[in-house]
């Protein structure tokens, strides 16, 4: 039993160390979205989908249901980094309820502002998310699934 307790203690210590490192690097909003992301998944019968393989090698995917020219539901999936998860989660919340035109106005800077910023080396993650949202909506406007 003592060995298990020691192991649990070690794992807890490591986790606290990781949490402390993340808290130094990222804003509270980034950590909230990353640790508890919203709207993750793939819509079964979407009106449109956007998938982009970013230059970093990570893929971002948005699937969207629209109604009366508005974003009714939007889910995202990614195999990317923590910041990309935070950006994806925040962007789905920002886009929901907006008209297609309004959602197309969401810029990477808006995503970064909504998250209280990201470190320089993670700013491209917000651009990948913005581009993927726009690609999904453009696919719809061009009549592609
Ligand atoms: Fe690829 Fe963040 S490093 S999306």
Per-residue model confidence as pLDDT tens digits over 42-70: 999 999 999 999 999 999 999 999 999 99
What are the boundaries of each domain within the chain?
28-141
CA of 138 to the centre of ligand 1 (A): 22
Give the pLDDT confidence score for residue 20 in this predicted structure: 86
Distance in Å, CA 9 to ligand 1 centroid? 32
Distance CA 88, CA 37 (A): 8
In the predicted model, residues of the chain with pLDDT beneath 70 are: 1, 145
Q: List ligand 1's pocket residues with C-beta within 6 A.
A: 54, 56, 58, 80-81, 83-84, 122, 125, 128
How far apart are alpha carbons 30 and 36 in whole angstroms? 10
Residues 6+ apart with CB under 8 A from 92: 38, 39, 62, 74, 75, 76
Report d(CA 41, CA 4) in Å as an integer: 36
HSE toward the beta carbon, residue 66, CA cutoff 13 A = 19
28-141: CATH topology: Sufe protein. Chain: A (3.90.1010)
Entry pTM:
0.90
């Amino acid at each position: 039993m003592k060995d298990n307790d020691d192991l649990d203690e070690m794992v807890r210590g490591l986790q606290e160390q990781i949490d402390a490192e993340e808290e130094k690097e990222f804003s509270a909003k980034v950590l909230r979205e990353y640790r508890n992301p919203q709207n993750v998944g793939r819509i079964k019968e979407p009106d449109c989908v956007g998938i982009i393989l970013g230059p970093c090698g990570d893929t971002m995917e948005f699937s969207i249901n629209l109604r009366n020219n508005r974003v009714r539901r939007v889910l995202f999936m990614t195999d990317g980094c923590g910041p990309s998860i935070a950006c994806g989660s925040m962007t789905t919340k920002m886009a929901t309820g907006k008209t297609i035109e309004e959602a197309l106005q969401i810029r990477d800077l808006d995503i970064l502002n909504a998250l209280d910023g990201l470190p320089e080396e993670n700013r491209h993650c917000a651009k990948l998310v913005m581009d993927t949202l726009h690609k999904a909506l453009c696919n719809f406007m061009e009549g592609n699934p």
